[in-house]
Structure 1
């Protein structure tokens, strides 16, 4: 009888954990302005280190929440005033196995940090629109945001 009780408690705890994860995800999507995306957390092994999650647009921030997490706070916060998209590419190598075929990988720079995010090709258009729709900047504060291609030659 003791084994049955322990098994029952474990099953109930597992179901409660799954319910909490999916309820949190539902709460994040309830406010609107969310997209599915993947963020590359680790670059130690080429093509690996991607974390699936939900991106939530809040003002000038894109907040990344991991899909299977109980954390209320986002894992990463990207500020559009400091974010530039450096390169756009299709998934290659092992990445093709971890993400859908119609997804695009964007190599971004935020401050001094490089970051890769992946999202559906149709979502990229909305993401770039959100990025470009930021408030105007003081011309001397930060250099412009190139969307694609090489950086302009300064001099």
Structure 2
């Protein structure tokens, strides 16, 4: 078999694999959102450099926790999860500089507190309203000592 036929076969196999990956991503997103409560949610994994370290993903409310799934992963399990009982809303801000290109359009950056340290998330303003309502709807927290 000539070399060009091998190359053509290899390109065909590569295109089929890319197509299967795309279909698998769509099916995964549908399965994650079948129970509702999913929204576009970006998570900042590294905050060392301004505007860097953002990963696009999906958020899902699951009982008493917020689960985060990477957008281009095929894993059915969340990559991160935060319990409502220990998460606090600290502030919100607009994306600055390079962050604007790293995040979904019109998303705002939300800074939250957790026992493990601060967490930065980015979501749409309507998702932020739902997130704040979800946090406030949790059981009352014990009073903190001063």
Query: TM above 0.5, one fold?
Result: yes
SS where residue 65 of structure 1 aligns?
strand
**24, 42, 49: which one aligns with 2:53:** 49
Q: Tell me the equivalent position of 1:127.
A: 131
**Equivalent residue number for residue 39 of structure 2:** 35
> Whole-Å Cα distance in 1 between the matches of residues 97 and 40 of structure 2?
21
Alpha-carbon deviation of 1:8? 1.3
Which consecutive residues of structure 2, in runs of 5 or more, have no partner in the other structure?
none
Match of residue 7 from structure 1: 11
Deviation at residue 60 of structure 1 after TM alignment: 0.6
Spell out, residue by residue over 1:17-69, the C-alpha distance to the aligned partner (whole angstroms, 9 max, x if none): 11111211111111101111111011132111111111010101110001111
Which sections of structure 1, spanning at least 5 residues, go unmatched?
A: 144-153
Residue 103 of structure 2 corresponds to residue 99 of structure 1: yes
Which deviates further from its counterpart, 123-132 or 89-98?
89-98
TM-score by length of 2: 0.89
Q: Do residues 83 (structure 1) and 87 (structure 2) align? A: yes
CA distance 1:105–1:70, shift in 2 (3 Å): same
Match of 2:66 among 47, 62, 65: 62
* Aligned pair partner of 1:111 in 115, 131, 141: 115
- Provide the rounded CA distance (Å) in 2 between the counterparts of 1:104 and 1:94: 14
Describe the shift of the 1:66–1:100 C-alpha distance in structure 2 as closer, same or farther (beyond 3 A). Answer: closer
- For 2:119 and 2:24, the matched residues in 1 are separated by 29
